Structure 1
Amino acid sequence: MKKPVDLGYGISFIDVYDLGMPQRTGTYVLHEEELTIIETSASPSIPYLLKGLEALGLEAKNIKNIIVTHIHLDHAGGVGLLLEKCPNANVIVHPKGKRHLADPSRLIQGAKAVYGEKFDELFDPILPVPEERLIVKEDGDTLQIGENRTLTFLHTPGHANHHFSIYDSRSNGIFTGDTAGVFYPQLLDYGVELYLPSTSPNQFNPKAMLDSIERFENLNVDRIYFGHFGMSENPSAVFEQLRYWLPKFVEVGERITKENPNASFEEKTNAIFNGLFEMIRAFLDERRIPREADVYNILRLDSQVCAMGIADYFQK
């Protein structure tokens, strides 16, 4: 496993090998007297997270705050398991996510419906978080974790209704979970900077997503910390690309829904996936990215999840 990366401003970044893939999902560590981490990924990622802390010379028992931007399993599925190693930590969550961390039965049911037999390998176990260790942050609430660091929680729907983003005063950066999409750092080796929206089911809302992006923009941040994957110091490119790609994603879904009114959900999802993936591949072909590049493993996966969310959006 790779060593944690120092991002400056007292922030380290651990690759937690979500789905067994490098550069898929990461955990941010904020080195303050109130040791704080943002995102846990799913339970199979917890050993990587703990090894990353060890490499930083930190112990899980000293963590005070575990923050999850939203309750999708690739961001929060491992929080109950991690908590067993963190006797002094509380979990900070969006108000709409709290009950699902306390009783994850619906999260489990939803994931089993999507992932079927792969569920155990990808997500098991999903453990409940004791109610008394859950802290809710409303829009605009803050958390002081060091002399020079205040975190401000902003409700930012679009990807999910139970999503907040966290503005960090010390780095003038924002932890955006999935609301500002996905960053593909694998492409930087080819001189390509790519950010794509994340439109996964079942609360994707393009208008809300654009409103949240405008909110980020109005903060004049210097850096964006993505759940997938890593930090960008080019926020203007992030906003520009999301505004470019989001309507294109929606257009593909709208066209396929109109052309196939009687198709099943699965058929529509497959057709939308093909449309999205071909569009992204054509963009990368133009930039001479080899089709055997590793990034395609993640792009294929992301396009499948995005297609499900878009199909669900038009079905509603």
Structure 2
Amino acid sequence: MAQPLDLGRRISLIDLYDLRMPQRTGTYVLHEENLAIVETGPSPSVPHLLAGLKALHIDPGEIRYIIVTHIHLDHAGGVGLLLQHCPNAMVVVHPKGKRHLADPSRLIAGAKAVYGAQFESLFDPILPVPEERLIVKEDGETLELSAERTLVFYDTPGHANHHASIYDSYSRGVFTGDTIGVFYPQLQEAGLTFCLPSTSPNQFDPEAMKQSAARLEELRPERIYFGHFGMLDDPQEAFRQLRVWLPKFVAAGKEAVDRHPEAPAAEQAKMAAHRLRGEVMAFLDDHGAPSSSSAHAAIELDLQVCAMGLIDYWQKQR
């Protein structure tokens, strides 16, 4: 297990080894009087989270707030399990996510539809969160962790309708979940800052994603804290790359649906993923990213899931 990363400004990052991959999904620890964490990852990641807290000399009973940007299982699937270790914690969630944490049956059904036979190894168990331990934060509402640190919650649909991004007054950074995409820090070793949109099913909306990103960019943050994975201290580059890659993703989905309208959705998704894989890998080759980088495996997986969301979006448009 990797030791938690000290990101400065009283924030630590715990690697959750989601999908058994390092630098895939992380939990952010905000070291304040009211101790808070952002994201839990899926249930199989909870042991890594607890080990990270132990390395930071934090008793889970000290946690006051467990905050999730959205309720997709790779971000919030472990909430119910983690709560068993955090007797004093409340769970903070987007208004549209509350009922699904209280009753995760639809979350489970949706994940099974996407991941099939892999569901249990990736996500089990998914436990309900008692309603009395849920706090909803509407757009613009705040949460004070200390006299110096207040969190501001923003409704940021695009990746999902139940998505919040959270501005941190102390670090002047934003916890963006998947709103502006996925960051691949492994490629920084090759001198490349690289982000891709996250267009997974089934609520992806490119126009909403652009509007949400523009809203966050107007905050002029100094840092982006990605759900996948890590901190980027050049936010403008993340926003720029979203503007470059999002139209390419949308076009790949449209092409697959337009050219093969009668093909099953799974086949259309394979076509879209194939086109995107070619564009992304060509870009990485042109910029000297080593093919041996562990980022390639993560990108390959992401493109498959993103393609499914793109096809779902275009089929709804038709």
Answer yes or no: same fold by TM over 0.5.
Answer: yes
Q: Secondary structure at the match of 1:161?
A: coil
Deviation (angstroms), 1:292: 2.9
List aligned pairs for 1:1-316, cutoff 5 A: 1-316=1-316
Distance in 2 of aligned mates of 1:225 and 1:288: 25
Aligned residue type for 1:208: A
1:95-134 CA-partner distances (Å, limit 9, x unpaired): 0000000000111111111111111111000000000000
1:5-49 CA-partner distances (Å, limit 9, x unpaired): 111111000001001110000000000011100000000000000
Distance in 2 of aligned mates of 1:252 and 1:114: 20
Aligned residue type for 1:250: V
Would the aligned equivalents of 2:190 and 2:290 in 1 still touch at CA under 8 Å?
no
Q: Secondary structure at the match of 2:231?
A: strand
Gaps of 5+ in 1: none
Distance in 2 of aligned mates of 1:215 and 1:105: 32
Aligned residue type for 2:115: Y
Distance in 2 of aligned mates of 1:194 and 1:85: 36
Deviation (angstroms), 1:257: 1.2
Distance in 1 of aligned mates of 2:281 and 2:266: 22
Aligned residue type for 2:64: K
Name the TM-score, length of structure 2 as normaliser. Answer: 0.98
Would the aligned equivalents of 2:155 and 2:165 in 1 still touch at CA under 8 Å?
yes
Provide the aligned length of Structure 1 versus Structure 2.
Answer: 316
Would the aligned equivalents of 2:182 and 2:226 in 1 still touch at CA under 8 Å?
yes
Distance in 2 of aligned mates of 1:292 and 1:30: 34
Would the aligned equivalents of 2:17 and 2:23 in 1 still touch at CA under 8 Å?
yes
Q: Secondary structure at the match of 2:145?
A: strand
Aligned residue type for 2:26: G
Deviation (angstroms), 1:285: 1.1
Deviation (angstroms), 1:254: 1.1
Aligned CA RMSD, in angstroms, stands at: 0.7
Deviation (angstroms), 1:278: 1.0
Deviation (angstroms), 1:150: 0.4
Name the TM-score, length of structure 1 as normaliser. Answer: 0.99
Distance in 2 of aligned mates of 1:43 and 1:296: 25
Aligned residue type for 2:210: L
Gaps of 5+ in 2: none
Aligned residue type for 1:212: S
Distance in 1 of aligned mates of 2:4 and 2:117: 32
Would the aligned equivalents of 2:256 and 2:269 in 1 still touch at CA under 8 Å?
no
Deviation (angstroms), 1:290: 2.8
Distance in 2 of aligned mates of 1:154 and 1:148: 20
Aligned residue type for 1:27: T
Deviation (angstroms), 1:293: 2.2
Aligned residue type for 1:243: R
Distance in 1 of aligned mates of 2:237 and 2:290: 23
